[in-house]
């Protein structure tokens, strides 16, 4: 279902595909850049890597047959597809940090940015992935990892092919279910999600903090945190930072 265009350099593949969406580009439009000079993460955080070392790609999706209330699951759909693809080509078991990071161990391998775009053909979704492929550890930011530094000898085209295959499979299944994640997708996400069952601290806009154990992901793709005062539900758009925290000391008996 994908129609891939490659460019040597661009500021942001997500911005470019969003503009294509506004100009009636069809679902399945894909843009891959060898070098992205102004990549963005969630909350407009910047993301940059040396040219030719990462897979930077954006996919145009038009899930018109899925209720918009279920679209917040799309970053999770993409995350599962990325983890599937990494395992397919390398054998590495990547984990997912809610809502939009892919990890190997506790280090970040990939980031995901999913954005909604208004267009003449109705709302669309741009799903961007930035995945570290060939960088050495000296080329990575603190806390980062690449497939090469994790021991995998694989090229960007191999990862792109696997990602396209895995995303098509997961996205098609999600659409056929009307966006309902209750069965296969939700189980696949929970199985891969390193955030669940850990004690976390969610920092919210305005300085509010929610701390407790990450218990589940609800039907809307939000994180359920069990706190001392009961469950609290937070969406990706509500969270400025989400961090694992050390378990409190328990008194000895």
CATH number, domain at 37?
A: 3.30.930.10
Tell me if 73 sits within 8 A of 181, measured CB to CB: yes
The verdict on 129 and 147 lying in the same domain is yes
Residue-level pLDDT, tens digit, the chain, 253 residues: 999 999 999 999 999 999 999 999 999 999 999 999 876 655 455 566 788 899 999 999 999 999 998 999 999 999 999 999 999 999 999 999 998 899 999 999 999 999 999 998 899 999 999 999 999 999 999 999 999 999 999 999 999 999 999 999 999 999 999 998 876 899 999 999 999 999 999 999 889 999 999 999 998 899 999 999 999 999 988 898 899 987 655 554 4
The verdict on 177 and 209 lying in the same domain is no
Tell me if 71 sits within 8 A of 52, measured CB to CB: no
Beta carbons within 8 Å of 21's beta carbon, 6+ residues apart: 29, 60, 117, 119, 124, 126
The verdict on 123 and 32 lying in the same domain is yes
The verdict on 206 and 133 lying in the same domain is no
CA distance 40 to 116: 15
The verdict on 130 and 29 lying in the same domain is yes
**Domain containing residue 215:** 199-244
In a domain, residue 56? The reply is yes
In a domain, residue 43? The reply is yes
In a domain, residue 144? The reply is yes
In a domain, residue 253? The reply is no
Tell me if 62 sits within 8 A of 20, measured CB to CB: no
CATH number reported for the structural domain that contains residue 234 in this entry: 2.30.30.100
pLDDT at 98: 95
The verdict on 115 and 232 lying in the same domain is no
Q: Look at the chain and report how many structural domains it folds into.
A: 2
Quick one: residue 238, left, alpha or beta (phi over 0 = left, psi -120 to 50 = alpha)?
Answer: alpha
Supply the pTM of this predicted model: 0.92
The verdict on 48 and 100 lying in the same domain is yes
In a domain, residue 249? The reply is no
Tell me if 60 sits within 8 A of 34, measured CB to CB: no
The verdict on 66 and 26 lying in the same domain is yes
**Boundary (domain end) residue, out of 169, 192, 215:** 192
First to last CA, the chain: 61
In a domain, residue 163? The reply is yes
The verdict on 136 and 30 lying in the same domain is yes
Task: Identify the sign of the CA torsion 215, 94, 91, 128.
Answer: positive
The verdict on 114 and 28 lying in the same domain is yes
Task: Identify the sign of the CA torsion 232, 236, 240, 245.
Answer: positive
In a domain, residue 252? The reply is no
The verdict on 9 and 120 lying in the same domain is yes
**Boundary (domain end) residue, out of 152, 170, 192:** 192
pLDDT at 49: 73
- Locate the DSSP E strands across the chain: 3-10, 29-36, 39-40, 46-47, 54-61, 95-97, 101-104, 107-117, 124-132, 199-203, 209-217, 223-227, 230-234, 241-244
In a domain, residue 251? The reply is no
- Locate the DSSP E strands across 70-191: 95-97, 101-104, 107-117, 124-132
The verdict on 86 and 7 lying in the same domain is yes
């Amino acid at each position: 279902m994908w129609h891939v265009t490659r460019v040597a350099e661009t500021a942001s593949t997500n911005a470019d595909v969003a503009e294509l969406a506004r100009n009636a580009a069809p679902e399945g439009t894909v843009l891959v850049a060898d070098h992205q000079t102004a990549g963005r993460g969630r909350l407009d955080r910047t993301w940059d890597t040396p040219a030719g070392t990462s897979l930077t790609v954006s996919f145009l999706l038009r899930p018109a047959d899925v209720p918009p209330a279920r679209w917040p699951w799309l970053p999770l759909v993409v995350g599962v597809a990325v983890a599937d693809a990494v395992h397919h080509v390398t054998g590495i078991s990547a984990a997912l940090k809610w809502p939009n990071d892919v990890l190997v161990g506790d280090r970040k391998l990939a980031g995901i940015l999913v954005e909604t775009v208004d267009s003449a053909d109705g709302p669309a979704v741009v799903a961007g992935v930035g995945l570290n492929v060939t960088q050495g550890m000296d080329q990575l930011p603190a806390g980062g990892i690449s497939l090469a530094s994790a021991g995998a000898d694989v090229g960007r085209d191999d990862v792109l092919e696997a990602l396209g295959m895995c995303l098509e499979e997961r996205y098609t299944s999600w659409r056929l279910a009307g966006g309902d994640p209750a069965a296969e997708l939700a189980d696949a996400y929970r199985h891969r999600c390193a955030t669940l069952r850990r004690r976390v601290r969610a920092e919210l806009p305005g300085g509010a903090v929610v701390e407790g154990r990450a218990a589940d992901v609800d039907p809307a793709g939000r994180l359920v945190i069990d706190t001392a005062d009961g469950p609290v539900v937070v969406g990706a758009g509500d969270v400025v930072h989400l961090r694992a925290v050390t378990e409190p000391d328990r008194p000895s008996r």
